[in-house]
Amino acid sequence: MSEIKNNTKTNFTFQRNVAIVGILLFLGKLLAWHLTNSDAVFSDAMESIVNIIAAFMGLFSLYLAAKPKDVEHPYGHGKVEFITSGIEGALIIFAGVIIIVQSIDSLLHGNVPKQLDWGIWIIAATAVINYLMGHISYKKGIKENSLVLQSSGKHLQSDTFTTIGVVVSLVLVYYTKLYWIDALVALLFGGYIMFVGYKIIRKSLSGIMDEADLGMLQSLSKFLNENRKPQWVDIHNMRIQQHGSGLHIDAHFTLPWYYELRKAHNEMEDLYKLIGENTNRTIEFNFHLDDCKSFSCEICELSECPARQKTFVKKIEWNEKTIAQVPKHSLKNN
C-alpha cells in the first residue's frame, strides 16, 4: 500500500473566505431588493442565500474530509464531499422553485419595480465579485481535486450569469417601463437554477455510488500502456474510487510466476511510483499480485523468459475497457 498526501488546510481557508464574501454579497443584494422591489433581484438574492448555506456546508465537509482514517472509517472521510454537494444541489433546486412561484405570482397580479438605477449598480458590482470568486474557486478545485471547491466555483459562476441577466432585465425595464419583463426574467432564471442544481446532484450521486469514471480509466490506461515493462504481463480488474480529493485504486497485477516475493513486490512498488509521480492526487493502492499462466505466454512480451510454454502472438493493449476486465487477459477473452 502506498499513499501520496496533500494538504487541505488551504482549501478550508479558501472556502471560509468564500463564505464570508457570500454573506457580504447577500447583504448587498438584499439592499438592492429592498430598494427596487424587483422579482429578478429577489431571484438573485435567493440564490445568494443558497450560496451562503452551501459555503458553510463546504467548510464542514472539508473539515471532515481532512480528518485521518480511523477504525470506523478505514477509507477516510472524503466521501462527505459528495453528500454536501448533493445537499447543495437540492438547495439550489428549492431556491429555483421559490423563484418560479414568486415570478408567476407577479406575472398574474402585477409588480412595479422602483429605484432601478440603484439596483443596477449594486447588482452589477456583485456580479463582478461573484465571477472572480467563482473562477478562482473552480480553478483551485481542479488543481486540488476538491469536489467542494469545484461545486462552489461552478455555483458562483452560474450565479454570475444569472446576475448579469438580472442587470440586463433591470436596464430594459428602466428604459421600456415594461414591468412584466422583470417577472419573466426571474421565471427563466428560476428554471436555469434548477437545472444547475440537478447537474450538481447528478455528479454527487455518481461519486457516492462509485460510478465508473471512464475518462479517468482511459487516461490512466493510456499512461500505463505507454510505460509498461515487458515483465508486466497483465493488469486487469481495476477499480477506482474517489474519496474527496483522493483516490483508492484496486487492481490485479500479473507477473512471471517464478518471481520471488521480494522481486515481485519491487515491481509492484515501481508501478505505484510511476503512477504516483505523474499525478497530483492523493492515491491509496491495493493491488493483488497474480502469477502468469500458460495462456499468458501468448500475450507476454518478455522475450527472454526461461519458463515460456507458448509462442508470443500479440500484445493486449491496455485501455479503459481491458484494464477493467475481471478475468486475466488471454487471446480467448480479448
- Top mean pLDDT of 2-11, 113-122, 156-165 is at 113-122
Arithmetic mean of pLDDT over the chain:
81
321 or 71, which is more confident?
A: 321
- For residue 27, pLDDT over 80 is answered with yes
**Confidence category of residue 77, pLDDT binned at 50, 70, 90:** low
Span of 77-86, 141-150, 192-201, 207-216 with lowest mean pLDDT = 207-216
Using the predicted structure, report yes or no on whether residue 211 has a pLDDT greater than 60.
no
Which pLDDT belongs to residue 7?
44
Q: Which amino acid is at 164?
A: I
The whole-number pLDDT of residue 5 equals 39
How far is 186 from 173, CA to CA, in rounded Å?
13
Average pLDDT over residues 294-314: 90
Tell me the pairing of strands 246-255 and 282-291: parallel
Tens digit of each residue's pLDDT (9 = 90 or more) over 92-118: 888 888 888 888 888 888 778 888 888
Structural domains of the chain, ranges and CATH numbers in brackets = 9-208 (1.20.1510.10), 212-334 (3.30.70.1350)
pLDDT of residue 88: 77
Say what the pLDDT of residue 169 is.
Answer: 87
pLDDT band at residue 245, thresholds of 50, 70 and 90?
Answer: low
Checking if the pLDDT of 210 tops 60, the result is no
- Binning pLDDT at 50, 70 and 90, where does residue 2 land? very low
Dihedrals phi, psi of 317, to nearest 5 degrees: -70, 135
If one compares 147 and 49, the residue with the highest pLDDT of the two is 49
Average pLDDT over residues 214-240: 87
pLDDT of residue 319: 87
User: Cα separation of 327 and 124, whole Å?
Assistant: 59
> What is the pLDDT averaged over residues 19-33?
87
Cell (9 digits) for 103: 415570478
Residues 6 or more apart from 131 whose CB is under 8 A from it?
A: 156, 157, 160
